[in-house]
Structure formats: C-alpha cells, structure tokens
Amino acid sequence: METLITCLRHRVSAMGSGVGCLGEHGSRDHLNWMIDTVEAEAHLPRDKRVRWLGYVAGARDFATWGKDSVSVSRMRDFDAPVLSALQGKNEPILFAGLDEVLEGLEVIAEQANSPTVDLVHAARRSATAAKASFCLGYAQAYMTGNHLIDVDGERDRTRAIFHRVYAECGFEIPKSRDRSTGQTVKEST
C-alpha cells in the first residue's frame, strides 16, 4: 500500500491548488485527504482503500489529461504489490460485488456512448479483486468528471452492495463519513 500511496502523493502534489475539474471531490486538498484517510485507517477493508486510491489516480489523471483522454493503459499501468495480492477465500466474494457495481457503471457508460466504458470493461477483466477495486475507483473518477455519475449518487447506489459483500467476508462494515467534514456519522440504514 505504501508504494501506491507514495506514488499518488507525488502525483497529487504536482496538481494546482485550486478546485479540480471534479468540483469539491477533485481538488488537491480533497485528494490528499483521501490519501491520508487510506493511510491512517488500516482497519478499513483493503478493497475500499484501494478503490479510494483508484479514485485519486483517476481524478488526478482527469485533471491532467482532460475528459476526452480516457486511457485504459494509464489506469492499468499502476502497479503495486497490494494490487496483485489475493484475499484468499474472500476473493470470489469481492469479485462478485465489484462485478455488480461495475455492471451498473457499464450500463450508464454504454447508454451515454461514452469512452469511459473502456475503463469499466478493463476493470471487469482485472486479475485480482484489489486491482478491480482500484480500476473501479479510477473509472468512477472519470465518469464523475464526464457527468455520467455524481459522487453522492454513486455512494448511495453502491453502499448496500459493498456492505453486503463485507458482511459475507466477515469484515467490519465501515462507517459512513459526512461528505463535507469527513467525520464518521451513524447511518440510518
């Protein structure tokens, strides 16, 4: 995880300090907060942590290369031991949940005739659940930037799926965070 975090910290630090092209969820400050949270909260499920890092990578690339520069190779070129590590008996459970989430994104991208569908297809072909999670986050950043999804709506759409998967794996279900403060909040569901 440390190698990936170090790489992304360096890339995000090279961004401008203003709000990124993904609004509040793409600013350098927000992306650094995401990296800090991943680093500080090792108790979070690994796939959630690498999904957040994938979002950071995608948001940074979107800000750098632009909305029309969808690149599967840039997304897939991120390589770190954490992305190739398997999670034992939980691997098929995680893959099933990720595939369910990615299938929904695939439908959205196909209906919009968006090149982001290539990112989703590549994510679905990932060799490990961790790599699929990273690629999911990356694709979500690009889809957010292209106004195909929004961060809050995507959280609402996927929360029940991931909570079900985490329960099946025996993981602690992560607490939700207040979207403006980053503080954990009690969920009503």
Sign (positive/negative) of CA torsion 15, 18, 23, 25?
positive
Give the span between the Cα atoms of 30 and 76, in whole angstroms: 23
Each residue's pLDDT tens digit, 94-141:
999 999 999 999 999 999 999 999 999 999 999 999 999 999 999 999
Give the model's pLDDT for residue 9: 95
Give a yes or no: residue 136 inside a domain: yes
With a cut of 50, which residues of the chain have pLDDT below it?
179, 187-189
As a whole number of Å, the end-to-end CA separation of the chain is 31
Whole-model pTM: value is 0.91
Number of domains in the chain: 1
Give a yes or no: residue 181 inside a domain: no
Give a yes or no: residue 107 inside a domain: yes
Give the model's pLDDT for residue 22: 66
For 75, residues 6+ apart whose C-beta sits below 8 A from its C-beta are: 54, 57, 58, 61, 119, 122, 123, 135, 138, 139
Give a yes or no: residue 189 inside a domain: no
Give a yes or no: residue 187 inside a domain: no
